[in-house]
Structure 1
């Protein structure tokens, strides 16, 4: 076993867990889950069957990642945030097969704040930041800062997490000096290459 699991955690047979991943108290990993390297799964985390989780993902306490959800590398899920996977749940009319679930994709580096809710069927773009308590019900652009109920874009964030100020269609992070360029309704990272002589 190349990962660490607290004695109270349940890891079902068949789960694939990457090197260096840590699973804390009372977590439950289902048998068809796939989890990458160097992840941290906090107390009382549940990972359902057929969930794909990348490497270096941090899932804080009391988060359930249900079937239909995929988390790419370096995603952060804050305490008690919620993923849904069915649009019209009814106890009297169970919808609990793979055909009933709507796919939710959280892309590389995105962060979801404490107690936020992600309604199924959306894609959260790379390095986006979802504020605590927000309710996301539609796709989120890369680097977008989202807040409110329902969530609305209130700005842009750098890969390091600092907010960005767009001036003349460009932005430079005050904390790490990464630079960005606004193109239409999105921003992209500007890569500066040095010439080699």
Structure 2
């Protein structure tokens, strides 16, 4: 069962169970949205879009063709995605660039995500950032342009570039891409 607000325009039948769609949101017919998602008000989701399970899309987000969002992702308010690196009015590329947000990543409010990049598992992009390139899992990026500023643990603890928790002084090390406490 879905909860789709009557003041939204949902043309897709590919919406999973327990997904909430708020008012004034438009979802085009070919979009795919998983279970237990929260799509806030004033959003626009184009056709060639895949959204996994347990995803939160806050107000004012437009998700254009070519964007894939995996499970457990947070997309903050007014995040802007692009899908064409050289946009021109009434001139369309043969194919839109693909952008992938991997499982569990978070994108802060008012960030811009440039087309054709991949954001790693659990990565964290701070509010107001302009992300212009792909980033590794468990990394923290922010700024304009966004720069690598640290790491984030599975539990959501922010670490500096030396893998140290500034609050507790705990030191971590990387196991693959994942920070693990020493």
> Does TM, normalized by the shorter one, top 0.5?
yes
Q: Contact 2:174–2:180 at 8 Å: present in 1 too?
A: no
The answer to whether residue 63 in structure 2 is matched with residue 73 in structure 1 is: no
The match for 1:195 is none
Task: State how far apart, in whole Å, the 2-side matches of 1:154 and 1:24 are.
Answer: 34
Which of the numbers 147, 153, 158 marks the counterpart of 2:153?
158
- Cα shift at 1:70: 0.3
Q: How many residues align?
A: 180
Provide, for residues 65-108 of structure 1, a one-character-per-residue CA deviation record: whole Å limited to 9, x for no partner: 111000000110000010000000011x511x6x3310000000
TM-score by length of 2: 0.90
The answer to whether residue 170 in structure 2 is matched with residue 188 in structure 1 is: no
- Cα shift at 1:50: 2.0
Segments of 5+ residues of structure 2 without an aligned counterpart are: none
- Cα shift at 1:30: 0.8
Task: State how far apart, in whole Å, the 2-side matches of 1:117 and 1:60 are.
Answer: 14
- Cα shift at 1:52: 0.4
Give the aligned CA root-mean-square deviation in angstroms.
Answer: 2.4
Q: Contact 1:180–1:188 at 8 Å: present in 2 too?
A: no
The match for 1:64 is 62
Q: Contact 2:152–2:179 at 8 Å: present in 1 too?
A: no
Q: Contact 1:15–1:30 at 8 Å: present in 2 too?
A: no
Structure showing greater Rg: 1
Provide, for residues 10-46 of structure 1, a one-character-per-residue CA deviation record: whole Å limited to 9, x for no partner: 111x430011000001011111011000000001111
| Paired residue secondary structure (2:177) | strand
The match for 1:194 is none
- Cα shift at 1:172: 7.7
